[in-house]
Structure 1
């Protein structure tokens, strides 16, 4: 289940806890024990699956690294792996 725009709500309990609605958990791919990240942008807060967010950050940081290091095809990658294994 994936939606471009979806709205749901939850009640804040005495200790600041909320129950994330089932539809939202499904959309975010959340299971029991998973962590969420809150991203504050002005007066808006986004809640995202922490695992997916961490992977997206890593992908952004690694963008262009293969080209920068010259690892641009399978042959070059395999040669690099072989060289590392012989060290």
Structure 2
């Protein structure tokens, strides 16, 4: 458990151990999410990635992608279609 003091401007310094845990550094953004009567702080970039993963969950199977090579082949096919003006 860590403790931080709020300044008169509503600012806090996030303890180094918490910054390390979240994987945030100078200039990064953090996200505050209310969960019941608690507020959880998260690395905004990591949260965006997790949301994208949730949104795409099951899409690979629906598209018939079974491995990394299938993805590479699909990207090549899409690039070829776009370069041919389709």
Report the RMSD for the aligned CA atoms in angstroms.
1.5
Instruction: Please point out which of 18, 29, 34 is paired with 1:40.
Output: 34
| Count of paired positions | 81
2:54 corresponds to which residue?
60
Per-residue CA deviation, residues 32-73 of structure 1 (Å, 9 max, x unaligned), is: 111000010111000011111111111111111000111223
Q: What secondary structure, in the 3-state scheme, does the structure 1 residue paired with 2:42 have? A: strand
1:3 corresponds to which residue?
none
Compute the TM-score of the two structures, normalised by the length of structure 1.
Answer: 0.81
Compute the TM-score of the two structures, normalised by the length of structure 2.
Answer: 0.82
Which runs of 5 or more residues in structure 2 are unaligned? 82-86
Tell me how far apart the structure 2 counterparts of residues 31 and 23 of structure 1 sit (CA, whole Å): 12
